[in-house]
Every structure is written in structure tokens, then in C-alpha cells.
């Protein structure tokens, strides 16, 4: 097995399991450290001890490299693959099989852990037809949000990667953004830039404890903006995880979901296990209101793209039909829908 492939697959599987980031980085860094080395040089350095003295190579990553060079699937990878045979979530298998893509993902351009190319490779591995790259907008400085200039550069990179992708590859990258809904309800990016994107996910990231009337007005204005395609993690809650817990934002759900239905803005079923957003009751309320949905991973690392399993299970448990989920649609139908109001 190629040692770089082995290291990267281990990192992917650790991300999928929500392993600590330092552990994931150890394997990503080791892969980067040996990438580009001719096989003969790598084998020689592993044999004479030079490799273990190289920065970025630890005892476990050295073992993985050595076993790969010996023609084995490394023991650690075998163990992770066995664990990976178990689904992440109970239920949702039929719906998961109908999902074609993912409209919410992050790269190292903002607060993700891997470059766009690595995220694309993982999406391809998972059999996605499309992946929207939706890094944060400039107001979210803590997440290194993209200015219009940086976003334009990313769009150019997406275009170049799509053009270079072999014809037999099924994956298409979509240019997008997770744009901040500012306090007055406007979107945190220029209209000119938003008009050039395939997908706009609009999310609230600040003043989450505002009173319900204030939050409702803020969300309604964003939903009515013709650039908005998806309302991201609508309550902002956190139910578990390293960041602790956070209660749901308060807003008039009836008015917000009615506006989503009227404007054909999809309500995101955010698949991150620490979010589980919206709560089940709000999913059912949005369903009754006639809303569309988007099951998204909100992945910040390649392995987290597989979080769609969690979203599919929750959607199925709450009776959301596949035809109401935009991420079950073909790329052509999706892009027709996403560009309809611009």
C-alpha cells in the first residue's frame, strides 16, 4: 500500500470518528512530510533510521510507513477499517443512498483543517456527485472569513479543479459561501460576489441570545434576500462536544419557515453530531410549513463529510420525504433551483 495513501486514509477515518485534532494532524503532517519522496529513498530512510528523525514522523506514523513499504495494509488502518464498517447512525440508510451531494463544507481557507483539494478527494471517495465549498464570510474573523477578493480567488481555483478533473469522475465542486447573517439581516458579502456563486448558505453566528422578535426580523430579511439558498443551522444550538452546550436561539418559527417555503429557501438539517440542528420538533414544523430541506455535513475536515449519515437518520426519523431534500436532486436540477432568484 502506498504510505501516503495509508496515512491520509487513517486521518480520514479518525476525523470521521471525531478523534482529537492533534491525532489527526499527526497523520496528515506525516503524509505531507514524505509526499514526493521517491519510493526507493523513502525505503532507504526507513531502513537506516533517518526517517524516524525527520520532523513530522512519530512512532505510530513510522510504523504505518514501514508496514506499507513491506506490502502490508498497516495494522492501525486495518483496525480503523473494521470499526468503520459500523454505521455512524442508526437508521436513514435508504435516504442516505439517495443523497447526491453536500451544500455545506469548509476548507483551510477559513476554519477547516484541510485544503480544498483534499476535501474534494474525500468527497470523490464517498461517491458524491457535488460538493459545495462554503467557507465563512469576512465578518467571522475568528474563522478567518474570506473577503470578496479571497473568495474570488477560491472560485477561480474551483473552476480550475473542475476543468482538470477526469471525465469519468462524478464529482463537481460548487462555488459557495456560508455567509453571516448580520445583525440587521443583511448578508456579509457583496451582491456582486454572491451573484457569482452556485450556493449561498446563510447562517447566524452572533448575538444568538437575542430576543425572539429581534432574531425573527433578522432571519426573515436574510431569507428574503434573493441570493439565499439555504438557511444554515437555524437555532445555533450545541448539544454536546468540546465546545460545551448552547441553547437554541429564540425566533418565531412559524413566520421563519413560512418565509422559507415562500422563497424556496431550504432549511438545513445540519449533520454535525454536536449540533443536531434543527431539533426534531422544528424539523416537523418546517415540514408541515411546506419547506424544502438540505442535508449537509458542515464538514471542517475530510472525514467529517461522512456525517451525512447523522442527518439522513434524523430526516428519516422525522418523516422528511426524499423529494423535499434538495441534496437528493441531480446537479442540474439543484443549480436550476439555486440560481432561480438571482
DSSP state of 267: E
Question: What's the start-to-end Cα distance of the chain, in Å?
Answer: 48
Domain around 66:
3-84
Distance CA 308, CA 102 (A): 8
Residue where a domain stops, chosen among 51, 84, 117: 84
Half-sphere exposure at residue 256, Cβ-oriented, CA atoms within 13 angstroms: 28
Contact between 103 and 295 under an 8 Å Cβ cutoff? The reply is: no
Contact between residue 125 and residue 170 where contact means Cβ atoms under 8 Å apart: no
Question: Structurally, how many domains does the chain consist of?
Answer: 2
Same domain, 166 and 22: no
Sort 23 into a burial class: Cβ within 10 Å, 0-12 / 13-18 / 19+.
middle
Domain final residue pick, 61, 84, 107: 84
Q: What is the pLDDT along the chain (342 residues), one digit of tens a residue?
A: 999 999 999 999 999 998 998 999 999 999 999 998 998 999 999 999 999 999 999 999 999 999 999 999 999 999 999 998 999 999 999 999 999 999 999 999 999 999 999 999 999 999 999 999 999 999 999 999 999 999 999 999 999 999 999 888 899 999 999 999 999 999 999 999 999 999 999 999 999 999 999 999 999 999 999 999 999 999 999 999 788 899 999 999 999 999 999 999 999 999 999 999 999 999 999 999 999 999 999 999 999 999 999 999 999 999 999 999 999 999 999 999 999 877
Claim to verify: residue 76 and residue 130 sit in the same structural domain: no
Cβ-based neighbour number of residue 321 at 10 Å: 12
Whether 246 and 129 map to the same domain: the answer is: yes
pTM of this structure: 0.94
Q: Residue 255 in 3-state DSSP?
A: helix
SS3 101: strand
Question: Do residues 55 and 148 share a domain?
Answer: no
Assign residue 327 the CATH number of its domain.
3.20.20.140
Q: Are residues 250 and 307 in the same domain?
A: yes
Spatial contact of 179 and 203, defined as CB atoms under 8 Å apart = yes
**Cα-trace Rg, the chain:** 21
Quick one: 75 and 105 in the same domain?
Answer: no
Cell (9 digits) for 272: 454535525
Q: Which of 52, 84, 116 is the last residue of a domain?
A: 84
266 and 184, same structural domain?
yes
Do both 157 and 215 map to the same domain?
A: yes
Q: Is there a single domain that holds both residue 49 and residue 120?
A: no
Amino acid at each position: 500500500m502506498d504510505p501516503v495513501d495509508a496515512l491520509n486514509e487513517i486521518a480520514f477515518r479518525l476525523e470521521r470518528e471525531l478523534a482529537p485534532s492533534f491525532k489527526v494532524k499527526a497523520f496528515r503532517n506525516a503524509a505531507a512530510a514524505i509526499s514526493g519522496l521517491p519510493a526507493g529513498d523513502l525505503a532507504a530512510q526507513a531502513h537506516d533510521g533517518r526517517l524516524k528523525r525527520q520532523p513530522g514522523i512519530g512512532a505510530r506514523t513510522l510504523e504505518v510507513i514501514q508496514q506499507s513499504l513491506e506490502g502490508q495494509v498497516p495494522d492501525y488502518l486495518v483496525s480503523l477499517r473494521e470499526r468503520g464498517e459500523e454505521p455512524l447512525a442508526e437508521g436513514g440508510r435508504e435516504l442516505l443512498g439517495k443523497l447526491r451531494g453536500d451544500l455545506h463544507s469548509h476548507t483551510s481557507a477559513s476554519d477547516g483543517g484541510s485544503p480544498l483539494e483534499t476535501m474534494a478527494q474525500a468527497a470523490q471517495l464517498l461517491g458524491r456527485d457535488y460538493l459545495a465549498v462554503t467557507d465563512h464570510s469576512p465578518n467571522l474573523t475568528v474563522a478567518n472569513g474570506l473577503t470578496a477578493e479571497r473568495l474570488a480567488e477560491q472560485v477561480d481555483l474551483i473552476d480550475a479543479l473542475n476543468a482538470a478533473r477526469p471525465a469519468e469522475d462524478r464529482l463537481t465542486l460548487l462555488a459557495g459561501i456560508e455567509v453571516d447573517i448580520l445583525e440587521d439581516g443583511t448578508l456579509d458579502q457583496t451582491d456582486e460576489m454572491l451573484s457569482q456563486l452556485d450556493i449561498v448558505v446563510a447562517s447566524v453566528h452572533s448575538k444568538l441570545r437575542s430576543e425572539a422578535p429581534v432574531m425573527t426580523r433578522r432571519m426573515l430579511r436574510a431569507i428574503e434576500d434573493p441570493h439565499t439558498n439555504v438557511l444554515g443551522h437555524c437555532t445555533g444550538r450545541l448539544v454536546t462536544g468540546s465546545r460545551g452546550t448552547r441553547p437554541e436561539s429564540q425566533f418565531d418559527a412559524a413566520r421563519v419557515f413560512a418565509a422559507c417555503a415562500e422563497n424556496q429557501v431550504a432549511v438545513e438539517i445540519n449533520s454535525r453530531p454536536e449540533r443536531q440542528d434543527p431539533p426534531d420538533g422544528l424539523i416537523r414544523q418546517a415540514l408541515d410549513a411546506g419547506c424544502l430541506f438540505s442535508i449537509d455535513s458542515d464538514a471542517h475536515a475530510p472525514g467529517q463529510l461522512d456525517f451525512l449519515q447523522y442527518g439522513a437518520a434524523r430526516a428519516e426519523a422525522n418523516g422528511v420525504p426524499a423529494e423535499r431534500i434538495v441534496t437528493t436532486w441531480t446537479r442540474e436540477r439543484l443549480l436550476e433551483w439555486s440560481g432561480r432568484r438571482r
